[in-house]
Amino acid sequence: MIGLVFGPPGSGKGTQASRVAVRLGIPHIAAGDMLRSEVDHDTALGREAKPIMDAGGLVPDDLVVRMINERLNQTDATKGVLLDGFPRTVPQAIMLDVMLKTRNATVDEVIALEVPDDELKTRILKRATTEGRSDDTAEGLAQRLIVYRQDTAPVLEHYREAGTRIDSINGVGDIDAITEGIMEALKRGGVVVGTA
Ligand code: AP5
């Protein structure tokens, strides 16, 4: 099972992907978390990514694709993965298709979380007071939303054209209920069998 959790900044991709991945017994691969780890470890990639991330922009496709490709080569990824925050541009989606083809795989499912902008802003500014993520500012979020609409939203069209199953999920409300909604959608799509 290769699944993608898709949605604007603050829509709950990380929250939901981590829970669903545990239920499916596959790794949760979060591009943003991996990049923040690179920043924390002061690697060459981290040094290049940090100013871009702080400004709410996108790290260059080739760097992110190489990072994800290396992660997909790890043994735990052979049984499937749940990707969060990747692909984020149409070129990344095309490169993911190629990476998966070499592994005789394809994207099986896109879970698209839908949350209105005012709720996204409330969540991000609330998290800013507790976690202090450097891109969780009003300006950073505004830029992340612009980038999402311009570069990331078209990724859904890429999968629609490919005939990939896309489940739109209301991402507002109780976190447990949203997780159950995703699991139900995965069951309907035949991704989850039985009571997993
Ligand atoms: P990334 O870390 O992916 O950030 P993002 O997309 O802006 O998303 P967030 O992590 O802010 O939100 P989320 O949707 O995961 O929601 P979460 O569960 O955290 O990427 C950061 C940066 O890295 C990018 O801007 C870019 O620079 C770079 N990058 C990453 N991937 C890249 C790529 N592929 N290519 C190029 N560059 C890339 O929840 C948010 C908050 O809401 C939390 O506090 C949570 O507790 C709360 N919350 C969650 N669900 C609910 C709910 N139902 N009700 C109330 N609160 C909730």
6-60 pLDDT per residue, tens: 999 999 999 999 999 999 999 999 999 999 999 999 999 999 999 999 999 999 9
Nearest CA to ligand 1 atom 1: 32
Q: Which atom of ligand 1 is nearest to the CA of 131?
A: 44
Residues tagged active-site: 13, 88, 127, 133, 144
C-beta of 186 in contact with ligand 1 (< 6 A): no
pLDDT 10s digits, 55-86: 999 999 999 999 999 999 999 999 999 999 99
C-beta of 24 in contact with ligand 1 (< 6 A): no
The residue to mutate among 16, 59, 179, having the most atoms of ligand 1 within 8 angstroms of its beta carbon, is: 59
Average pLDDT over residues 189-195: 69
Q: Between the CA atoms of 69, 3, 10 and 56, what dihedral angle is there, to the nearest 10 degrees?
A: 30
pLDDT score of 191: 80
| 8 upstream amide cis, omega within 30 of 0 | no
